[in-house]
Amino acid sequence: MKILHTIQEPHKMFDTAGSSPLLVTCNDFNDWVCKYDRFPKYLFNELITAEFAKLWTINVPETALINVKDEHILYDKYPSLQPSFFEKECFGSLFMKNTKEIDLSFIPSFREKSFRDRIQQKSDFLKIALFDIWLCNEDRNYNNTNLLLHFAPENIYFFYAIDHVNIFNSSSLNYGLATLTEDDTLLKTELAKLLFGKAKKLTLIVDKLIENFYLCTKECEDNLDVILDLLPVSWAIDKVDMKAKMLQYLFTNEWKKQCEDIFRTYVQSFIKN
């Protein structure tokens, strides 16, 4: 994973309920959404999830580690920030142009068939929902999709998944995993119904996603050591402990079967019916 550093003060702080990331410009002359060490586990969650998503072929912004220079932080301007937040590498996601975060104001556009027809790989929406079920991401739902729609050339659109600090049931793996409730999934949204409510091949789509689910989770397990080696030493993450917990809870056949069952149940309950 590339390591970058800031070249000027942040352009803005995003007003979010959680990590309040900064928009910074780095020495590659690109803008990055930078999450810092307010809550150390959040950085771990973001990195791990981004790497897993790539193995699932889920679109996520490019990622990097970012060193934010202390002289670039104006603490009078951002009083919630502390120097200690930036003593370690931060987690960066490339700020993508030609994108819009999907919120409730965007739903009327999805009601137009001509708009929906421009979306490429619609099944990615369901794949992201299954990915969230597997990782117990409690922060992608009706009120907060944490999805970007990327407007690519030739007037075609793609889904991108962002913001994964609340995987593992917004906690840690110390107490295992609990399946997502119906209110914590994209499957119980008007957007899901608009995209797939009339899909004649929904059963085939779901079956294919489940087939790939077992392949993708196995690939994540096979690459776990490589991914954990990406963690900066400064984050002080016990890699041996985290690997043991993920093998104990995330990669078991029992957990995967629970994820499959809840995914099929929610699709049947909230999309097909």
**Position 102 in a domain:** no
CB atoms within 10 A of CB 142: 15
Under the banding of pLDDT at 50, 70 and 90, the label for residue 18 is low
130 and 226 assigned to the same domain: yes
List 150's β-bridge partners, or say none. 99, 158
For the chain, give the mean pLDDT.
95
User: For the chain, where are the E strands, in sequence order?
Assistant: 3-5, 12-13, 22-25, 31-35, 63-67, 90-94, 99-101, 147-152, 156-161
Shared-domain flag, residues 52 and 180:
no
How many folded domains does the chain comprise?
Answer: 2
Q: Is the pLDDT of residue 3 over 70?
A: yes
Contact 20/81 with Cβ under 8 angstroms?
Answer: no
Mean pLDDT of all residues in 187-192:
97
Asked if 194 and 145 touch (Cβ cutoff 8 Å), the reply is no
240 located within any domain: yes
| Residue 199 domain-assigned (yes or no) | yes
Whole-model pTM: value is: 0.96
pLDDT digits (tens, 9 = 90+) for 125-174: 999 999 999 999 999 999 899 999 999 999 999 999 999 999 999 888 98
**Residue 105 placed within a domain:** no
Q: How far is CA 43 from CA 11, 85, 95, 128, 187, in A?
A: 21, 11, 17, 20, 27
**Is residue 13 in a domain?**
yes
Close Cβ partners of 31 (under 8 Å, ≥ 6 residues apart): 11, 23, 24, 25, 94, 95
For residue 215, the model assigns a pLDDT of 98
> Residue 40: its pLDDT value, please?
75
Instruction: Say if residue 141 is in the same domain as residue 268.
Output: yes
- Both 90 and 179 in one domain: the answer is no
For residue range 29-70, what is the model confidence (pLDDT) as tens digits? 999 999 998 777 889 999 999 999 999 999 999 999 999 999
Residue at 263 is within a domain: yes
Provide the pLDDT for residue 199: 86
DSSP 8-state assignment for residue 269? I
Domain residues for 184?
122-146+162-272
Confidence (pLDDT) at 88: 94
Share of the chain above pLDDT 90, in %: 90
Question: Residue 15: what pLDDT?
Answer: 80
pLDDT at res. 231? 96
- Do 262 and 168 lie in one domain? The reply is yes
What pLDDT score was predicted for residue 273? 83
